[in-house]
Amino acid sequence: MWLFVFLLSLIPASLGCPEMVTSPTELVVGLGSCLYISCHYDLCKVGSDAELRKLRWIHHPQYDTKQQEFTGKKVSELSGTPGNTKGDCSLILPHIRADDAGVYGLRLVGEPNRRYSKGWLWMHYVTINVTDTPPAPHLWLDPDPITQGRRTTFGCWVPPACPKDSPTLTWEGPITKTPGVHMDSWTPPATVTTHPVIGTLLAFDPFWYHDETTVKCILRGSDGKTITQASWQLQVNYAPRNVQVDMTPSSPVHEGQGVTLSCRDSAKPPSHTYTWSLDGRTLPHHTAHVLLEPIQAADGGSYSCQATNVVGTTQSPPTVLQVYYAPRDVRVEVTPSSPVHEGQEVTLSCRDSSNPPSHAYTWSLEGQTLPHHAAQVLLYPTKATDGGSYSCQATNKLGTSRSIPTTLEVYYPPRTAILETLTSLPVLVGSRVTLRCTLGPAHPTPFSIQWLRNDHWEFDTPGPALSFNADPARAGVYRCMGQNPAGTTRSLPLSVIVWYPPKAVKVLQTPRGPVVAWGGLVRLQCQIGAAEPAKFTISWFKNGQELPVPSSELLLPGPEPVDAATYACQARNEAGVTRSPPFILDVRFGPQGVELVPDPSQRVQEMSDVILRCHADASPPPNVFEWFWDGRLLGQTPKGLWVLRAVGTQASGRYRCRVTNDIATTDSPDVIITVYYSTTTILRRTFLGVGVGLSILLVLGTLGCFLRRWWRRQMAAHEEPMVEPSRTFFLRNKKPLMPGSTRPPLGPDDSDTISYASLLSPPGSGSVPRLRGDTVVYTVLKRNEGAAKATEGPDYENVPPGSSNRDRDRDRDRDGTLVYAALALSSPGPPRGQAGDVGDTVEYAALRH
């Protein structure tokens, strides 16, 4: 491929370019006139990036080898359009003198470009000839001579005038007045002359009378005066004219004499062939003169000749040559020709060939002379008895002759025609019907009997009987007809009635086409084409089940989707029953019964594919399905299928589909799809949780041991601790009580445990009391006044009854106040939160008491 592109790049671009300079190479101009050299340059051959540097005309250019440039008289210095590779280089020289003749050169010098790195040069030559008088116009003619009847075109042209001059070229001569002549401006083809020129065209149809006439092409100036002209004498070839036949001696002549026939005409070029005819028959003569000697009776008649030259052929008008002789070729002509029909008008004519014509005639029929003596005998009306052999005899002053017998045959139609049936009528469809026709005498005898049904031809039978199977199409009024060339005889009509079941039963819908459910009244009409007998009953069927509708119309007021079904109607008469083709009522309705069905089920294992199928009943079928997950649009499809690929637990949620057709849009109920972990995931997460839990327990155990040892060291440093942490305990009550209630507060999980972080100090008690050392009382719980002391069991879980005085002294004061919790602080510092109504909260890992 690259080699092909490389080879293409080697082809010079100038192959498709025009000549560098387009201009005539030689011009003739009259002394004192204006010379216009039309010129145009195109630098395509030099390259698309070519630019002119010099453009000048030089008279008598000579090449100077030293200067390597053309020298001579500079006539004109032109300038090209910058950046334009095309331009005008025309030259105008007014008032031409004799010394203006010679060679003119157009010198083009260009700037360097991609193709010519040192610049480029071009020289174009034009030869100018100066004459004492302006040159005559040039003529462009058809071959000489021209021919009559052929459209002929003449062209006349001169070199272009100077731009300020406005000369005109015109035609003069008899030919310009010919009907249909056309004169117009014209541009000669490139094969005639180099463009540009001024031209005119003359188109005409030459006739014989244009022969040797003169046509002129005249060049006139703007003042209307003739500058120069050219003329040409026309030579027109034409077909023979004034063709006629001359006879010597003149007609009439007697049989046995000698006669000379001559064909005379006028033609250019002269006729070279002659054709003779007698009464339209071509004769074996091809010269201008024909000698008939001795002349016979058969030589008489109308003669004509045809003269032919290279242009055409012309025939003369007929010239009659009469030869006198006795009657011959006597014959009887019957008009109209035999046979004839009875009752017609018949003319018998006695024809003969004689000159002078016969003046007496005698007629006979079957040898019996008839009382007729004229050349024609009229028989009207013709009867059967007029038939027979006729002959006649003709007589003129030179003799008598008799014809051979001619037979006249008289035809007449059948005298009668009687039609009868051999089958009982009416007849049931499919039965056999036989009709018989009897004809009376006729001449000639009819070779067949024609049968008509409803006055239209149905059959031809060679015998008198017609038999066929009964069919509705064959029912009608029958006639039989006997026919021969003389005429036709018809029988009386006979009606053949065929009983058949109803035909063309079909269901018509109004309005037509699909209907929208609950949109208005729909009428189904049972249309029946034909039936015999015409009385019938109608039944309706829906999806094959008969409906209790006996009328021809089935009304559906506001059809519902259930009305979309196949309907049929049935018509029954005495001949049978016919059911219509099934008719489908198309009821359009929006989606109904929309249901979203997940496959394989609503509970799927993670990384499974879930196929969502949306089912709906709609007409027309749905064209848009939209899919939603937890109220968010997933997308839409043209079909009711959506695939969830490799679902994760995050894909769980409520799914539904929305179905749309051309009528309405309907949503399905939500379907909850649950995606559960696979066994692998459960095991992986379990092992991870156990590992994390063990790690936390190990850290907490290590931290607990450390805190325990630290705590003991701290407790040992105090002589009289106010609060001795003991075991953990929980409140027995389930719900916290409002102020004044006897129930202690519960923890945030509403269980039997209490959240110490949520215990608040009594209102108005001030800040939480701080005990000696690092022990602080966070919460004090006090029984309500008047509350009975518990006698059975402790008030609080894990606080055994009958505690020692030390315990009572430590945990509560004399007024029944119970120190609910005490926290030994390891070191003073700011709190991590706020608790009570002062806003102090503390995060606890464990509280002990």
Average pLDDT over residues 480-486: 90
Task: Give percent above pLDDT 90 in the chain.
Answer: 33
Predicted TM-score (pTM) above 0.75: no
- In this structure, the number of other CB atoms found within 10 A of the CB of residue 97 comes to 10
Burial label, 714 (beta-carbon count in 10 A; 0-12, 13-18, 19+): middle
Average pLDDT rounded to a whole number, residues 14-41: 81
Each as own residue / partner, the long-range contacts of residues 610-613 (CB below 8 Å, 24 or more positions apart, any chain) are: 610/643, 610/644, 610/647, 610/651, 610/673, 611/641, 611/642, 611/643, 611/644, 612/641, 612/642, 612/643, 612/644, 612/655, 612/657, 613/640, 613/641
> How far does CA 32 lie from the centroid of its chain?
69
Tokens 């026919």 correspond to 483
3 state DSSP class of 599? strand
Give 772's Cβ-side CA count (13 Å radius): 9
Query: Tell me, what's the pLDDT at 712?
Result: 83
Flag whether pLDDT at 547 surpasses 80: yes
**SS3 at position 687:** helix
Residue 786 CB contacts under 8 Å (≥ 6 apart), including other chains: none
* 186-211 average pLDDT score: 83
Question: pLDDT averaged over the chain?
Answer: 81
pLDDT in tens, 566-620: 999 999 998 889 999 999 998 898 999 999 999 999 999 989 999 999 999 998 9
Grade residue 812 by pLDDT with cuts at 50, 70 and 90: very low
Instruction: Write down the pLDDT at residue 15.
Output: 58
Summarize pLDDT for 121-166 with one digit per residue, the tens: 899 999 989 888 788 888 887 767 888 888 888 889 888 778 777 8
**pLDDT value of residue 82:** 65
Q: How many CA atoms lie within 13 A of 430 on its CB side?
A: 4
Residues 511-545 pLDDT 10s: 988 988 888 899 999 999 888 888 889 999 999 99
Rounded to whole angstroms, the Cα distance separating 37 from 161 reads 9
